[in-house]
Amino acid sequence: MTWQNVLKRDTGLLASISDKEKKKLKKTLQSAEPSEFFGKDFTHLGSLVEMLEDMDLIKGDKKMQKKMKAYGERNLDIVATAAKLRKDYELLYFQLRGMVYPKKKGD
């Protein structure tokens, strides 16, 4: 069997949405993949959660609605933690940088 003979199958969620929604979801999912720009990842992940929440398939399923709400809340908690860590990191960095490059009086 060659790779040309292998067909991708849309199963589960992908099988039940339109081609337009499928393409949009795949793009958003791809953009939410972790990268070196960690802050943007949370934004993309939030967009993915919102997109899934807006789908009719999720809207009609109470269990999925609850799960998506929990994912959204978890992402917000992570964003808040990341923002605090980023602030702490920047503070520490500038303190260390100040040790290496101390400001002269009058600067």
Give the tens place of pLDDT for each residue, 17-66. 888 988 887 888 777 775 566 677 778 888 898 898 888 878 888 898 89
Centroid of chain to Cα 10: 23
pLDDT at 58: 83
Does 42 reside within a domain?
yes
pLDDT at 6: 43
Does 75 reside within a domain?
yes
Does 5 reside within a domain?
no
Among residues 60, 33, 28, which one has the least CA distance to residue 47?
28
Decide: helix, strand or coil at residue 1. Answer: coil
Does 47 reside within a domain?
yes
Host domain of residue 44: 18-98
State how many domains the chain has: 1
d(CA 42, CA 31): 11
pLDDT at 66: 92
